[in-house]
Amino acid sequence: MSPTPAPAYAAEAVRALHELVLQPEARYEELLAVPADYALRALGADTASLSRWERDRGLLRTLVNVGARIEAGRRFPRDEVYEVATDAVMSRVLTGVPCRYSTASLDLHDHARALLAVSGNQSAFSVPITVGDRLWGELWVGRRDQQLVEDQLDAAVSVAGEVATMVAIAERIQRMTRMAFEDALTGVGNRRVLDEALAELLADGGPGATVVLCDIDNLKDLNDSLGHLAGDSAIVATADALAAGASQVPGSVTARVGGDEFVVLLEGEQRATAITLVEAAAHAISTSEHPVEISCGIAVATAGIGAQTALETADAAQYAAKTRGALLVVASDLSDAGSAAAERRRGRRRTHDRRHPAQELTAGVTAVVNDLAELLLDTPESVGGKLRWLGERMLAPLDLQEWSLSKVDLAGPRLLTTDSMGLRRLPMSSTQSYDLQVDAQFRLDTYPATAHAVEHDTWFTISAEDPRADPAERAVLREMAMHHVVALGCRDGDDGWLLELYSKSAALDVVTVGSLLALAASALLHRTFTPLGDLPT
């Protein structure tokens, strides 16, 4: 096992993660398989697993197992969980200390011996994975026919740091995707989910759809009498009841499309199923903590019908049910209507052109990742050269405005000197005050986040509007008329380096940019870059 992972493996991992992110159907567990595979190859192991710590339940849940002899059913296990309170081996994960387990050890704990036996390994490393400043879970790597020795544990810790960076990206993408497709209050789908699913069902050659549109009748009365928290509770109960019924029907979709309005989509003509679903949901809601009534409309549409037409028909049926005081009304079936459908199909094509949020999140870094994967071995040899190479390639794809690279003599006067910079737009405004010129010098100790970064291989972000950020760091941003800086520091012997990426946009996703910067730098420099937590006092 080499103490330094092969850079080719890191480049491949970067590309694999990027390609998966661009696939709308990619699952969270599939994203995690990339860092698990990377650890397997970089450490020359036979098996590798990633497990997440579920604090609220006291469980360590294995999300992915990789290795040549891992059975297909165990790659993404459904029920591989360990209760930390009753498992002495798993409880050691919470201490944050990496551990080695070997069948050759005379004092090997029975639980550890059982884990090795189940995985078919002679030895294994358990290394904690920390994302941000919190324990995320565990990387477990094992060998079947050889013993992992204690001296190799440092290499596993180094790899775990790079794995943590990849896990952070997967976590961020999962959150972004969930925010883009999930209603924040109820957890069911949002309007975007509905639009995309309905367009697919009604597309040429599609199965058609049964559209169920439901509205809560007396939500305003509930809000007025018991408050909006009670109203929110009723909305959640309605979503749960509809989603519970729909979950029994393959291919169904449940979405919240308004304050008290929901849509359930079923594939093809399933009128009878829809009626049963509505009746069961109405009963469940009537017995919830804050009982409410619903009015529902059902419309069955064949392929070729416009999505808007299908929804409007179901809405009209729902309105009829509400005015009659009925639970539901079923509209007449809708079928394709020739030239009008052709026009609607053109509209559907526009709907399909919308990009998945994960694609939007990562499209800007395509050039960076491709350059990194293909040119990794052709980058300059020096640390400063590699960081300059990286700064030049990250600016435009991420729609950032400026980058700068600074150097500091850590063994000498500890003065930070701007080595080079790249500007998106030249010349700068003649009225803009701008002190960060090449050869300008600053006392490193005046900027605590920067000092910590260049001495400890960390990255950090600063917002000009964040009152918690260091005043000196914020002052630089204000002087440059920038809103954010994403910075990464590293040590090179007696020298320190700081690469800074600047943005004028208040909406910049600084966590994702920082994670991608750290991952790229890890692959280039063969070391781990961790996010800066609270500065030591």
> Is 346 a domain residue?
no
User: What's the CATH number where 262 sits?
Assistant: 3.30.70.270
User: Which one of 284, 313, 336 terminates a domain?
Assistant: 336
Hey, which residues does 262 pair with through a beta bridge? Answer: 214, 256
Looking at the structure, tell me whether residues 211 and 66 fall in a common domain: no
Hey, which residues does 484 pair with through a beta bridge? Answer: 463, 503
Contact present, 390 and 524 (Cβ < 8 Å): yes
> Is 362 a domain residue?
no
* The pLDDT value given to residue 436: 37
Looking at the structure, tell me whether residues 441 and 317 fall in a common domain: no
> Is 57 a domain residue?
yes
Cα–Cα distance, 515 to 460 (Å, whole number): 10
> Is 358 a domain residue?
no
> Is 309 a domain residue?
yes
What domain range includes position 63? 7-181
Give phi and psi for 503, each to the nearest 5: -135, 140
Looking at the structure, tell me whether residues 327 and 383 fall in a common domain: no
Scan for tokens 């979405």, then name that residue.
Answer: 255
Contact present, 48 and 190 (Cβ < 8 Å): no
The closest of 274, 302, 297, 307 to 196, measured between CA atoms, is 307
294 to 259, 261, 281: CA distances (angstroms): 13, 9, 9
Scan for tokens 């661009």, then name that residue.
Answer: 22
From first to last of the 537 residues of the chain, give the pLDDT tens digit.
Answer: 444 445 567 667 777 777 776 666 678 888 899 999 999 988 889 999 999 988 767 788 999 999 977 877 789 998 888 877 666 676 777 788 898 888 888 778 777 788 888 778 888 999 999 987 788 999 999 998 878 877 888 889 988 988 988 888 888 777 766 666 778 788 888 888 899 899 999 999 999 999 999 999 988 888 888 998 999 999 999 999 999 899 888 889 999 988 899 999 999 999 989 999 999 999 999 888 888 999 999 999 999 999 999 999 999 999 988 888 888 888 877 875 433 433 333 343 333 333 444 444 444 444 445 545 454 555 677 888 888 888 877 776 677 888 888 899 899 889 888 767 664 333 333 333 333 344 457 788 888 888 999 999 999 998 988 887 778 778 878 877 889 999 999 999 999 999 999 988 888 888 888 888 887 888 778 788 888 865 554
Cα–Cα distance, 487 to 521 (Å, whole number): 11
How many domains are contained in the chain? Answer: 3
Listed in sequence order, the residues at least 6 apart from 353 whose beta carbon sits closer than 8 Å to its beta carbon are none
User: What's the CATH number where 63 sits?
Assistant: 3.30.450.40
- Rounded to the nearest angstrom, the gap between the alpha carbon of residue 300 and the centroid of all alpha carbons in its chain is 36
* The pLDDT value given to residue 529: 84
Side-chain-side CA neighbours of residue 343 (13 Å)? 6
Looking at the structure, tell me whether residues 147 and 251 fall in a common domain: no
Looking at the structure, tell me whether residues 171 and 29 fall in a common domain: yes
* The pLDDT value given to residue 133: 77
Looking at the structure, tell me whether residues 136 and 233 fall in a common domain: no
Looking at the structure, tell me whether residues 196 and 172 fall in a common domain: no
Cα–Cα distance, 59 to 52 (Å, whole number): 8
Scan for tokens 């367009």, then name that residue.
Answer: 199
Neighbours of 340 (CB within 10 A): 13
* The pLDDT value given to residue 340: 40
Neighbours of 414 (CB within 10 A): 16
Contact present, 7 and 21 (Cβ < 8 Å): no
Looking at the structure, tell me whether residues 494 and 519 fall in a common domain: yes
* The pLDDT value given to residue 49: 93
Preceding amide of 427 cis, omega within 30: yes
> Given CA atoms 278, 284, 286, 292 in this order, what sign does their dihedral have?
negative
Cα–Cα distance, 194 to 311 (Å, whole number): 10
Tokens of 20: 């998966």
Looking at the structure, tell me whether residues 240 and 165 fall in a common domain: no
User: Which one of 146, 181, 216 terminates a domain?
Assistant: 181
Looking at the structure, tell me whether residues 132 and 279 fall in a common domain: no
Cα–Cα distance, 392 to 501 (Å, whole number): 10
Looking at the structure, tell me whether residues 245 and 300 fall in a common domain: yes
The closest of 211, 167, 52 to 528, measured between CA atoms, is 167
* The pLDDT value given to residue 37: 92
Contact present, 477 and 462 (Cβ < 8 Å): yes
> Is 341 a domain residue?
no
* The pLDDT value given to residue 251: 86
- 3-class SS string, 158-185: HHHHHHHHHHHHHHHHHHHHHHHHECCC
> Is 459 a domain residue?
yes
User: Which one of 139, 160, 181 terminates a domain?
Assistant: 181
3-state DSSP helix/strand/coil % of the chain, to nearest 5: 45, 25, 30
> Is 87 a domain residue?
yes
Looking at the structure, tell me whether residues 162 and 198 fall in a common domain: no
